[in-house]
Chain A
Amino acid sequence: MLTIGALANVKHILQKELFSVSDERLLSVVTVTKTFKKKDKRACYLCVVTTTPITVPVVSLCLVKQSEQRENEYKRKRSWALDEIKWVDGRNDQLETHEFDIQLEKLYKWYALHPHERQNFLAVLNRQIQKNVRGQRAEFRNIPSAWLSEKSPEKIAAGRTGDAALKAQQTDGEESEEEAQEFTALTDREATELGKLFSECDFAIKDAEQFIEQLSKELHDLDGANIQSVLASEQKVLKMMEHIDNAINEADKFETRLDSYEDILGHVKETMEKIGGKNAMIEIANNNNIKLMKELEKVITQLDLPHKQQQALEDPDFKTEAGIKAAIAAAQCLQQAMNSDIDSALLRLEAVQDQRKRFEKWKQKFSIFISRYMNNMFIHIGNEIGDLPLTSNELVLPNHSNVHQSLAPYTELMHWTKAMDNKTYAGLMRVYTASLCKIYDRDLRNFFNLAKMQVSDKLRSSREDLDASTTSRKAAVSTVPYGTLGVNRDQWGPGVDSADRVRFDALLEKVLAELEPIALQEQLFCINFFQMDVISPTTKNTQTTLEVMEKSVDMSQSFTAASPSTDGPFPQKRIDRQINEDVRNLMMGLFDCLEPELVIFIKSFERVDSFYSLYVLVRLTQHVMSAQDTHSFLSMTFASTLVQVKRNFDSFMKQQMQSIKESKLPKRSKAGILPYVENFENFAQTAEGIFRKSDRRTDMERWYLQLVNAIFETISEQSHEHPKTPHQVVRMENYHHMYSLLAQLKVRGLDGLKKEAKVRYNDALKAYVTHYFGRPLEKLNLFFEGVQQKVAQGVKETEISYQMAYSKQELRKVISQYPAREVKKGLENLYKKVEKHLCEEENLLQVVWHAMQEEFIAQYNYLEERIQKCYAGAMINLEFNIQDILTFFSDIARSH
């Protein structure tokens, strides 16, 4: 049996003899015999061989035999690629098994001489197959799985997944290194170590035994030295222990001493702490005392009212300027004291409450003084001015700035009253309103009476003029208002001319201009005097912080009352509105009679001039729309009046519309220009004079449209009603009148209606000419109508003259019925008729006559053309030519 060394020997020999030559490397070898050739005792070797270029290793299975002749000669019998192996059968799982089969191109059964060689060989073979064979791999049967799984599971996994290529490479690297170790016996380091060792004892190579001996001797020496040093150190250790014990003892002593010191210090500390606590207490007490002092001082100074001021409150002198000043100063001090900033807890002090009660008494007393004094003053002012006789008859509203001046010194007292005694304040305000209202009432009534008188004065004078100029007219006053569109001028009641209107307008302007500064002045004074631009933050009668709040409810109430002023913009807007409303209410109280008086005054125009609403609308709008303080009493009063005026304006216009629709045709021989068409000129010119430059044009133009539309409608309706004048003439004349009127007015909004008037006029003219001119050469026309019929039936125009009824003789016969003299006579009759239809005012006779002339020429041309077409060369002509016609028409026109 061969030993392991023998096998290594064999492997070495095989590598050297056989594979090195062909640059191959032997990976594993097993000494085998073929089981079925028992006789052949020569050793065979199954080898796993790889080519050395590692990059593309080709691994193969190789069968080598020992040469029969010479012991040391080996021959490669066969070799197979690994993928030629179909399967490998280990026969059974036992370790000590010798047999194994390999299926190649045929089945080989082997008997391994050494089971460990077999194991090594099979493992290597398996590993190489796993590594190198792609596709179908040889199957290993009946072989302990441990041999195969040694490293192989990882490799299988790596091979399968492929994505762990790096890992696979790593293991591959390890593998090849491991394989290399089997042959390269030493690493570089080992080699150098060994080299060093060998160089130290260069005899080793020559005599291994001697070398080993030397090595073991050296080892022995080293051991001895080691034990000796261990024994020597023991004494030193003992000494060291002693030292440590000493040190511990010393440390203990030290510690006890420290403890005693600490005890002593502990006592001292306690004492110190007690002293410190006492000191802090003393300081706190001291601080508290100081604070208390300060607080008390504050309370006392705040609540202290100097004696001088007490006197000023108890016996105020409102008559002198100095007295008023002192009273105001004292009152303000009192207010300040009563609103001093004192902690609510301190308010419970009896002294504070006592002081408060004292304050209350002063306040009440002083308030009564003010109330009585101001009350008297207001009433006195009211009476004094009320008794003054009215100085002039001029239209001026008296100015009361002297009243305001005399009250100005007391302004701050009023502010004080508002804050400190709201009830008295409200009462005084009522008295002021009542007193001043009397004055303004008287002033306003007087003012408006004067104004009304001026209106009626003017009316009377103008009426006298009017009466003087039209003495022939009946004195009976008509009920039809002046300027009514649908009624003839003669039946209008008395009216005014535009100069009067200008005067009225100026009067109205004067009245409005007088009212504005007076009202504004009073308003400014009231806002300032009664401090109306500030809303008091509390609903209580008296503003004071000294009252002890009984319940928390009071607190919250006062907070909610105060909160709006601190909130966002919306409540601010609310406050503004509240202020505006308060001011307005006061003004309304003062100028109680302004609105009714103003309305009555404006109404006074109505009686004089039905057109008053037009210019009052314009004038009042200027004042209302241009107002800066749009929420003020006066602006709103004017605005309300303006709405009334606008309504009157609208109803005046409505009446005008109605009068147009209800108007009756004049009873005269010619319809002529209808009254509303005639009156519209005056109406529109008046309206334009008032509205031309006004912002309210839109209002007027709205009505223009409606009025003109109504006029058009009524013209068309009434045109059929006149017994003599034909409806075409009524329409023609009136539309023509409207057209020229609208063209004159140049109101852009009426451009559409202007065009329509023109169209309607032209239509009417055409209809009139067609109807009344007719066909003066009727029989000729009929003759040629017959001719046309024949032509329509298919007779050629040139052959018409051969028809019996339409021969040249027949034509001549018809023509001879219209000699020039007869035609002229007919035209003259027509002219007379037209003259009878048309009215003189509109002067359309020439226009109509010309249109008729055109019509006649057109008819004449038509007949001539027919004759030339149908009777060419027959030398037939009418008995007159165009020149004759023109002469007839101009002669007739001239002779009338």
Chain B
Amino acid sequence: MREYKIVVLGSGGVGKSALTVQFVQCIFVEKYDPTIEDSYRKQVEVDGQQCMLEILDTAGTEQFTAMRDLYMKNGQGFVLVYSITAQSTFNDLQDLREQILRVKDTDDVPMVLVGNKCDLEEERVVGKELGKSLANQFNCAFMETSAKAKVNVNDIFYDLVRQINKKSPEKKQKKPKKSLCVLL
């Protein structure tokens, strides 16, 4: 089974863990506890193929920014999360994206831009159009999600798996070389 290393990035309190836990365990975590680092494994079927997702839920608070380079180096696909209720979390993603491209040294990195907390429509400050245009600029997929209302949560990860598949199709595992008997 192919493994997919997915890293969830974004500023503090945007709902990275809520999205991840909702996807992995189908639970909405109401309480906010700043994450240090959590990793999860979940097996899913995408397009008829069994995949093992290894999701790294990272810290959003500033102290942990030094770890990002390492996360970016090891990750294959990235979920960039902001909260539609906080403009600064949206603004921070530009630098994050640039850092990913710098670390990966390529323009084509599987990535999904996610505007979370879309159930809090009355507190919205980042318009959907703004998100769309940033995704356009990033040349990546975009969705508005709600971990609480379970909107588009699975789609984030499925979309990312498809992107990874598209970018680097699975190499056919080389059959172990049959050792031939040789008569001497």
Decide if B74 is an interface residue (CB 8 Å cutoff).
Answer: no
Residue of B nearest to A627 (CB): B63
- Nearest chain B residue, comparing its CB with the CB of A623: B63
CB of A638 within 8 A of CB of B63, answer yes
Chain B residues near A695 (CB-CB < 8 A)? 33-34
User: A639–B31 contact, CB under 8 A?
Assistant: no
Please, which residues of chain A bring their CB within 8 A of the CB of B64? 636, 639-640, 642-643
A621 to B36, CA, bound (A): 9
Chain B residues within an 8 Å CB radius of A621:
36
From 632 to 677 in chain A, residues with beta carbon under 8 angstroms from any chain B beta carbon are 635-640, 642-643, 646-647, 650
Chain A residues within an 8 Å CB radius of B33: 695-699
A624 within 8 A of B: yes
Say whether B153 faces chain A, with CB atoms less than 8 Å apart: no
Query: Within the complex, which residue of B31, B37, B62, B91 is in contact with A631, where a contact is CB–CB below 8 Å?
Result: B62
Question: Which of B39, B66, B91 has the largest number of chain A CB atoms within 10 A?
Answer: B66
Closest to B62 in A: A630
Contact at B66–A636, with CB atoms within 8 Å? yes
Interface flag for B59 (CB, 8 Å): yes
Chain A residues, Cβ within 8 Å of B67? 639-640, 643
- Give, as a whole number of angstroms, the nearest-CB distance from A87 to chain B: 84
Query: What bracket does the count of chain B residues touching chain A fall in?
Result: 10 to 19
Contacts of A570 in B (CB 8 A): 91
CB distance from A573 to the nearest CB of B (A): 8
Smallest CB gap from A637: residue in B: B66
Task: Enumerate B56-70 residues with CB–CB distance to A below 8 Å.
Answer: 59, 61-67
The A interface, classified by DSSP as helix, strand, loop or mixed, is: helix
A625 within 8 A of B: yes
A646 in contact with B65 (CB, 8 Å): no
B104 to chain A, nearest CB (A): 21
> Which residues of A have CB within 8 Å of B37?
643, 646-647
Docked complex: A179-225 residues within 8 A CB-CB of B: none
Asked if A636 contacts B63 (CB within 8 A), the reply is: yes
Whether A650 pairs with B62 at a CB distance below 8 angstroms is no
In the bound complex, do residue A624 and residue B31 qualify as a contact, i.e. CB atoms below 8 Å apart?
no
- For B65, the chain A residues whose CB sits under 8 A away are 631, 636
Tell me which of B31, B34, B36, B62 contacts A643 (CB under 8 A).
B36
0/1 per residue, B45-63, Cβ < 8 Å to A? 0000000000000010111
The answer on a CB contact under 8 Å between A639 and B39 is no
Shortest beta-carbon distance from A259 to chain B in Å: 82
- Give chain B residues whose Cβ lies under 8 Å from the Cβ of A650: 38-39
* B178 vs chain A, min Cβ distance (A): 35
B44 CB to closest chain A CB, in angstroms? 20
Chain B residues closer than 8 Å to A631, beta-carbon distance: 62-63, 65
CA–CA, A570 and B91, complex, Å: 9
Interface members, chain A 676-701 (any B CB < 8 Å): 695-699
CB atoms of B36 and A630 under 8 A apart = no
Q: Which residues of B contact A643 (CB under 8 A)?
A: 36-37, 59, 64, 67
A624 to B34: give the CA distance in the assembly, Å: 11
The smallest beta-carbon distance between B131 and chain A, in angstroms, is 18
Q: How long is the Cα–Cα vector from A631 to B68 in the complex, in angstroms?
A: 14
Q: Which residues of B contact A646 (CB under 8 A)?
A: 36-37
CA distance A702 to B24 in the complex (A): 13
Report the separation of the CA atoms of residues A795 and B50 in the bound assembly, to the nearest whole angstrom.
Answer: 64
CA distance A636 to B66 in the complex (A): 7
In the docked arrangement, what's the CA distance between A486 and B145, Å? 41
Q: Which residue in A617, A639, A696 is a CB contact (below 8 Å) of B63?
A: A639
Could you tell me the distance in whole angstroms from the C-beta of B72 to the nearest C-beta in chain A?
14
Q: How far is the CA of A668 from the CA of B88 in the complex (A)?
A: 64
Which A residues are CB-close (under 8 A) to B59? 639, 643
Contact in complex: A640, B66 (CB < 8 Å): yes
A593-B66 Cα distance, complex, nearest whole Å: 17
Query: Which of B10-38 touch A at CB < 8 Å?
Result: 31, 33-34, 36-38
**In contact, B61 and A630 (Cβ under 8 angstroms):** yes
A702 to B17, CA, bound (A): 13
A647 cross-chain contacts in B, Cβ below 8 A: 37
Nearest B-chain residue to A630, judged by Cβ: B62
Contacts of A699 in B (CB 8 A): 33, 36, 38
For A624, what are the chain B residues with a Cβ–Cβ distance below 8 Å?
63
Distance in angstroms from B153 CB to nearest chain A CB is 19
Min C-beta distance of A657 to chain B, whole Å: 13
Cα–Cα, bound, A528→B66 (Å): 24
Question: What is the bound-complex CA distance between A650 and B63, given in angstroms?
Answer: 20
Q: How far is A804 from B183 in the complex, measured between Cα atoms in Å? A: 89
Contacts of A627 in B (CB 8 A): 63
What A residues does B61 contact at CB under 8 A?
A: 625, 630
Whole-angstrom distance between the alpha carbons of A617 and B63 in the complex?
Answer: 15
Determine how close the nearest CB of chain A comes to the CB of B25; give it in whole angstroms.
Answer: 10
Question: What separation, in Å, do the CA atoms of A570 and B33 have in the docked complex?
Answer: 29
Question: Residue of A at shortest CB range from B29?
Answer: A698
For the complex, give the distance between the alpha carbons of A640 and B71 in Å: 12
Q: How far is the CA of A319 from the CA of B10 in the complex (A)?
A: 53
Question: What is the CB-to-nearest-CB distance from B24 to chain A, in angstroms, rounded to a whole number?
Answer: 11
* Min CB gap B94→A, angstroms: 9
A627–B62 Cα distance when bound, in Å, is: 10
Q: Specify the chain A residue showing the minimal Cβ separation from B34.
A: A625
Which of A625, A635, A639, A650 has the most chain B CB within a 10 Å cutoff?
Answer: A639
Pairwise interchain contact B63-A635, C-beta atoms closer than 8 A: yes
Q: Could you tell me the distance in whole angstroms from the C-beta of A874 to the nearest C-beta in chain B?
A: 65
- B57 shortest CB reach to chain A, Å: 11
- Given B31, B62, B63, which contacts A698 in the complex, CB threshold below 8 Å? B31
Contact of A642 among B36, B38, B62 (CB under 8 A): B36
Chain A: which residue is nearest B66 at the CB level? Answer: A636
A638 to B62, CA, bound (A): 12
Q: Complex Cα distance A627/B61, Å?
A: 11
Docked CA distance A631–B12 (Å): 14
Residues of B within 8 A of A642 (CB): 36, 64
Set of chain A residues within 8 Å of B39, measured between Cβ atoms: 650
Min C-beta distance of A598 to chain B, whole Å: 14
A625-B61, A650-B39 given; A639·B34 CB < 8 A: no
Q: Who on chain B is nearest to A642 by CB? A: B36
Which residues of A sit under 8 angstroms from B34, Cβ to Cβ? 625, 695
Question: What residue in chain A is nearest B21 (Cβ atoms)?
Answer: A702
A716 to B34, alpha carbons, bound, how many Å?
Answer: 36
- A-chain residues with CB within 8 Å of residue B38 when the two chains form the complex: 650, 699, 702
Most chain A CB inside 10 Å of its own CB: which residue of B33, B34, B63, B67: B63
Q: Roughly how many angstroms separate A643 CA and B71 CA in the complex, as a whole number? A: 12
Q: How far is the CB of A589 from chain B (nearest CB, A)?
A: 15
Query: Whose C-beta in chain A lies nearest to the C-beta of B12?
Result: A630
A836 to chain B, nearest CB (A): 44
**Chain B nearest CB, measured from A716 CB (Å):** 22
List, in ascending order, chain A residues with CB within 8 A of B62's CB: 630-631, 635
With a cutoff of 8 Å between Cβ atoms, the chain B residues found around residue A702 in the complex are 38
Query: When chains A and B are docked, how far (Å) is the Cα of A650 from the Cα of B59?
Result: 15
**Complex: A823 Cα to B63 Cα, angstroms:** 76
Bound-state CA distance A58–B36 (Å) is: 113
**Residue of B whose beta carbon sits closest to that of A595:** B66
Q: What chain B residues lie within 8 Å of A636 (beta carbons)? A: 63-66
Q: How far is the CB of A638 from chain B (nearest CB, A)?
A: 7
Residue of A nearest to B33 (CB): A698
Contacting residues, chain B, for A697 (C-beta < 8 A): 33
Q: Give bound CA distance, A211 to B31, whole Å.
A: 129
For A698, the chain B residues whose CB sits under 8 A away are 31, 33
A residues lining the B interface (CB < 8 Å):
570, 617, 621, 624-625, 627, 630-631, 635-640, 642-643, 646-647, 650, 695-699, 702
Known: A698-B31, A699-B33, A699-B38; 11 extra A-B contacts, CB below 8 A, are A617-B36, A627-B63, A635-B62, A635-B63, A636-B63, A637-B66, A639-B63, A639-B64, A639-B67, A695-B34, A702-B38
What are 17 A-B contacts with C-beta separation under 8 Å? A617-B36, A625-B63, A630-B62, A630-B63, A631-B62, A631-B63, A636-B63, A636-B66, A637-B66, A639-B59, A640-B64, A642-B36, A646-B36, A650-B39, A696-B33, A698-B33, A699-B38
What 6 A-B pairs are tightest by C-beta distance, nearest first?
Answer: A639-B63, A630-B62, A646-B36, A698-B33, A635-B63, A636-B66
